[in-house]
Amino acid sequence: MRDYKDLKEEELLKLILGGNLPEHIAIIMDGNGRWAKQRRLPRISGHKVGMDSVRDIITLSREIGIKVLTLYAFSQENWKRPQSEVRALMGLLQEYLKKEIKTMIEKGIQFRAIGEIEKLPVKTQEVINNAIENTSKNGDLILNVALSYGGRSEIIEAIKNILRDIEKGDISADNLNESLFEDYLDTSGLPDPDLLIRTSGEKRISNFLLWQSAYTEFYFTDTLWPDFRKKEMLLAILNYQQRERRFGLTREQIKRGLYAL
Ligand code: IPE
Ligand code: IPE
Ligand code: MG
């Protein structure tokens, strides 16, 4: 494969716009702590600079016409981190949303959140709900942020709600299928991610979008999140565009285009 790393951002952009864009990109933004450690800085400085990457990636996604961007910002397991780090992360999120809400409204970005939002500090919930309400009519890019999110508990919650609805008589067990099940997930109404990116060299899913990533393409990079900027994102998309998604079919079937995927 050609070494696209040597190309300029504009050249990469041109190449990408000539191909099939992923509709939904999900990102596990990892490596902030290590970025800071390499510079002998406190972990929180990594999170702070990571917010600049968040801004860059959202801007680029909107500019090139990505429909949905899901960012894993805080997992259920992250609550076990030192209290000071958790508090700082919540503070950064609040600050970011307050600062960016105007731009999100102007640029047609629809803000959404998945995960246990009710477990977040009340102040954080307020800015989140405010951002959701004020951008609900936007449709250029859906920015979906995963907060206190865990894929397994999302599935358990869906099952509980399905059982309740069966008990109430609203649905019947016989009608339960994949599509109905998806209506009960936090991501209801959104397409599955086409591309999932994880930064920092870790190659695991860490309880992210377990149901939704059944046929997602994975892209792993050693780049730490605070260094993951536009060019890195373009390289990830270009890499995705070189792949052949087969969904269980044979190569020949795909080539003949006999199946609508
Ligand atoms: C990702 O960076 C941000 C969150 C999980 C909130 P990390 O904080 O996990 O960074 P590393 O993995 O320790 O380098
Ligand atoms: C995954 O990163 C969660 C987020 C990026 C928010 P972690 O750093 O928490 O994941 P593990 O612990 O390395 O699997
Ligand atoms: Mg990490």
pLDDT at 54: 98
Nearest residue to 89 (alpha-carbon basis) of 137, 136, 29, 176: 29
pTM equals 0.97
Q: In the predicted model, what is the mean pLDDT of residues 35-41? A: 98
| Protein residue whose Cα sits closest to atom 1 of ligand 1 | 30
Q: Which two tokens stand for residue 237?
A: 């998309």
- The residues annotated with a catalytic role in the active site are 30, 78
pLDDT at 1: 58
Closest ligand (CA of 148): 2
**Cα–Cα distance measured from residue 179 to residue 171, given in angstroms and rounded to the nearest whole number:** 13
**Cα–Cα distance measured from residue 45 to residue 37, given in angstroms and rounded to the nearest whole number:** 9
In degrees, to the nearest 5, what angle opens at C-alpha 150 toward C-alphas 240 and 63?
40
**Cα–Cα distance measured from residue 32 to residue 232, given in angstroms and rounded to the nearest whole number:** 16
pLDDT tens-digit map of 118-159: 999 999 999 999 999 999 999 999 999 999 999 999 999 999
Q: In the predicted model, what is the mean pLDDT of residues 209-233? A: 98
**Cα–Cα distance measured from residue 158 to residue 170, given in angstroms and rounded to the nearest whole number:** 15
pLDDT tens-digit map of 75-100: 999 999 999 999 999 999 999 999 99
CA of 225 to the centre of ligand 1 (A): 8
